[in-house]
Amino acid sequence: KLLGAARTSGGYRLDTSKGPIGCDFVVNAAGAWAPRVAEMLGQTLHIHPERHEALTIHLDAPLPYTMPMVMDLVNGQGTGLNFRHEKA
């Protein structure tokens, strides 16, 4: 668990529940907690939840190819399309 973060002369110091970590870069992949992590680093991050619906289609036989991920989303508008190949 991240308890605190600070910029240092050589990068960043992250204080975690398992001890400190020194690093050159920080990738904020904290999901819903990302604004809290950003705040620890002196940044502001705004996340707004959006409702989406999903549908999974099970085929009788696998496709002979891997379908690419396709996205045509209009965030905040409630419209768009997103489909991708799921792992078997």
Condensed to tens digits (0 to 9), the pLDDT of residues 2-61 reads 999 999 999 999 999 999 999 999 999 999 899 999 999 999 999 887 777 777 888 888
Q: CA-to-CA distance for 15 and 37, rounded, in angstroms? A: 12
Q: State pLDDT tens for residues 22-39.
A: 999 999 999 989 999 999
- 26 within domain boundaries: yes
Residue range(s) defining the domain that contains residue 35: 2-40
What total number of domains does the chain contain? Answer: 1
- 60 within domain boundaries: no
- 64 within domain boundaries: no
- 20 within domain boundaries: yes
Q: Are strands 70-74 and 19-23 parallel, antiparallel or unpaired?
A: unpaired
- 56 within domain boundaries: no
Mean pLDDT of 56-78: 79
Tell me the one-letter amino acid at 6: A
